[in-house]
Structure 1
């Protein structure tokens, strides 16, 4: 029997294990907390013909040894893609990456395609693994994949029909030696595309433009600023595709510049696959916002609470902070070794008080003080509950206030993931502010 090693027993690893077992492999699952130890895994490498590394797993000695032994090391996304391609009528793949906007764009593309009457599912860095979806073997017209840089590091043959990089900003420098390595990993999404495939790029993103020479697909250019050579852009209150007005900005249900950027990518996909433009407008004028992304969830008197737990990097939180000028901010989490200067600038310009939580708290406090933010407006509250409790004792809810959770980093120091962090925040707010009305 063929043997494979899957390193990591999370959603991605378990999906890979299930798919391999369905296809006749004996699978050794390695996870130092949940399965076989790395040490024992090392002793089995001589028997292994395939090594699947989960995206969250670092490049440990076990991974390096597999490379040394010339064992093929691939990602779960690559594995799932190979088996999907063996189907007689396999679905088209729309692959989404970028620093910010991935989840909104992925979700709304999936919902739009379904709204237009096609069979579609999403997977990847959102909800379930690609491998799990392929194992299920459903009849689908499209699969929309949200992909992180980690999931794209070891792709070999992966070739989506439509790929996009929404934007690029520094992130995950606790994993990558420099930002350029992170950007390069993102651009693996289109590395195997050819003429006849489509790659949607953001002309306002300098790092994307620098890497376009690597792309052999047909390129669709979108831009919030418009300009020569752009295919899809806003102009005079409309989103325009190749000179044709297709979406009225004023009627969009998803507000804000960041959402308009996402909508350019959604619109580009709709045009590429030929979705009905009237259906596109109906959908975009009525669709709702996502949980945990600038989610206005409770109003108490004049005080509005916003859950932006999905703000897991500096650029994302900057957008939220700028949208709620004068807000009281809860911020912090894992230290991702990022330059905090842009975050400090946004906080100085827009935030009235800051409650600092998690591993990053001390470092961010020092950066804010050194950047000229008043020390008496900073509180090292440590965790979410202390923050909400302290805020409840300090503010007058009859006055106009914005209370914003936008951590600017990952949650793993205190929570399983950003979803749990967001749900806990909402529960705590409803516990300490009992007279609120849901928005």
Structure 2
């Protein structure tokens, strides 16, 4: 019996609305399932989504995310719901399976469906997935960047468009609820503490990331600088003949990708790899050529080569790729000072990678720490820091870490906690920076204490920098805008 046949006339509970729940509910309804959506929130956005679904004949229960509807035969959950939620405890007690929307998409794939090249890691997932899609496109393949990147896998799997191969970004949340997926090849880019409030421990978080390797057909790609990613490969239950492929910023060993004299090379998918390597691209082909972004490019290249892509397409795809906004994006150079927006650096691991790319740095940081500690980051950054400008709810945690590990670094702490604080941060950084310095927004924290999201945080930084570049008139306009936010 196919999954589609099994779902017909089955009572399925969808846990959550949002960008994943709505497509899941629609897809299940179209397959003939009897769908009930439960959602804890009941705000305007949720009511609008509920109305859309109810018009199709789907039952929606707002304001109650804990109770399992009677007769439920399957639960399909959106990624954000924690494993400890009462709904899942009730499902377990009733012997009801819980699938994520990714698991559902995998099971609904038809015969001859496009294989998945899957990407996960604490940082760099989206960039690597988009790089991979760019390389696959350059190779003439029909592809798309999907999954956690914002494009519903269900929409792609059930849509009419045909694909040769998919570049699939998967979060730890999605992997937790996707035990059955079997990618063609996959990579874990890196591992650092993140989302521990959801997973409960670093061990649980790491184990969920490692699910991406189980059942791999051709290659499990790991980061040689992160031994935990290699351990996950060793422990994975893979298809016979599946290979472990490392990537490194240094010269590659056997079955690795690496860098030699500014050249990205493949010493894995070549004949006589004991004695030769294949040139793929130059580091200058990667934008921006920061070390952690070179690592992303190597990982993307490894997955593409595992799929059989020719070297020329790797170079062409990397040259064509443009990073998304707020990822180590250079905003402007003003009076010899470079201003860089990496608002997407929402945890310590990402911020440390960003700081490694510049020297000397005036560092803008702060926000919601999400339980993070900053001692390792402060110690690593200390030799590069000209100064630091701190803002946000948990700025004191960073200040205290800098005091312990970089007491020589001048620190400016902003008490203002509305969005206008960004203009003050830029003004403070201008007074601290010298020609040749980089002012780097790499907050190491989430943004929701002061901003809607990291995009708004980065936009406000860029606006303040551009006003600075525009001279006195621009600065006066920016000051006026900041005052209006009080």
TM-score w.r.t. length of structure 1 = 0.89
Q: Does 1:387 align with 2:387?
A: no
Give the secondary structure class of the aligned counterpart of 1:120: coil
Alpha carbons 2:11, 2:72 under 8 Å: kept: yes
How is 1:255-404 mapped onto 2 (pairs within 5 angstroms)? Answer: 255-373=289-407, 377-381=411-415, 382-392=417-427, 395=430, 399-404=435-440
Q: Deviations over 1:145-167 (max 9, x none)?
A: 11111111121211111111112
SS at match of 1:156: coil
Q: Does 1:246 align with 2:279?
A: yes
CA contact (8 A) 2:21 2:78 kept: yes
Bigger mean CA deviation after superposition, 141-150 or 404-413: 404-413
- CA change 1:420–1:123 in 2 (3 A) is farther
Mapped to 1, the partners of 2:73 and 2:456 lie a distance apart of 37
Any idea what SS the aligned residue of 2:355 has? Answer: helix
3-state SS, counterpart of residue 209 of structure 1: helix
SS at match of 1:355: strand
Matched, 1:16 2:21: no
Residue of structure 1 in register with 2:222 after alignment: 201
**SS of corresponding position for 2:377:** helix
Map 1:59-138 → 2, pairs under 5 A: 59-84=84-109, 87-138=110-161
How far, CA to CA, are the matches of 1:394 and 1:361 in structure 2? 16
1:240–1:246: 8 Å Cα contact kept in structure 2? yes
Aligned-pair CA distance for 1:79: 0.9
1:252-290, Cα deviation, whole Å (9 max, x unpaired): 233122122112212212322222322322333453333
- With 154-163 and 351-360 compared, the bigger mean Cα shift is at 351-360
More moved, 153-162 vs 175-184:
175-184
Aligned to 2:55: none
1:418 aligns with 2:418: no
Q: Which residue matches 2:53? A: none
Alpha-carbon deviation of 1:433?
4.5
Distance 1:268 1:424 in 2: 36
Pair 1:4-2:28 in alignment: no
Q: How does 1:22-33 map to 2 (within 5 A)?
A: 22-33=30-41
CA RMSD of aligned residues (A): 2.6
**Structure 2 unaligned runs (5+)?**
1-8, 48-59, 268-275, 475-486
- Greater gyration radius: 2
Distance 1:231 1:324, change over 3 A: closer
- Following the alignment from structure 1 to structure 2, what is the Cα–Cα distance between the partners of residues 123 and 198? 20
Give how far 1:237 is off: 3.5
Q: Which runs of 5+ in 1 are unaligned?
A: none
TM-score (norm 2): 0.81
Q: Which residue of 1 aligns with 2:214?
A: 191
Which residue in 2 is equivalent to 1:408? 444
Which structure is higher in RCO with an 8 Å CA cutoff and minimum separation 6?
A: 1
Output one character per residue of 1:299-328: Cα deviation in whole Å (capped at 9) or x when no partner.
333232211011122111112122222322
Distance in structure 2 (CA, Å) of the matches to 1:279 and 1:209:
27
In the other structure, the counterpart of 1:149 is 172
Q: Distance in 1 between matches of 2:428 and 2:389?
A: 13
Preserved CA contact (<8 Å) 1:4 1:27: yes
Q: Number of paired residues?
A: 432
- Superposition deviation, residue 95 in structure 1: 0.6
> For the Cα contact (< 8 Å) 2:355–2:361, is it kept in 1?
yes
Cα displacement (A) at 1:43: 4.5
SS of residue matched to 1:45: coil
Q: 1:91 to 1:417 in 2, by over 3 A?
A: farther
Contact kept? 2:91, 2:98, Cα under 8 Å: yes
User: What do the CA deviations read for 1:168-193 (whole angstroms, capped 9, x no partner)?
Assistant: 22222232333222111100112233
Distance across 1 between alignment mates of 2:34 and 2:18: 18
In structure 1, C-alpha distance between the alignment counterparts of 2:65 and 2:420, rounded to whole Å: 41
CA distance in 1, matches of 2:203, 2:307: 32
State whether structure 2 residue 256 is matched by structure 1 residue 225. no
User: 2-side partners of 1:310 and 1:203: how far apart?
Assistant: 24
- Change in CA separation of 1:346 and 1:189 when aligned onto 2, cut-off 3 Å: same
Cα–Cα, structure 1 residues 425 and 394, in superposed 2: closer, same or farther, change >3 Å?
A: closer
Q: 1:65 to 1:132 in 2, by over 3 A?
A: same
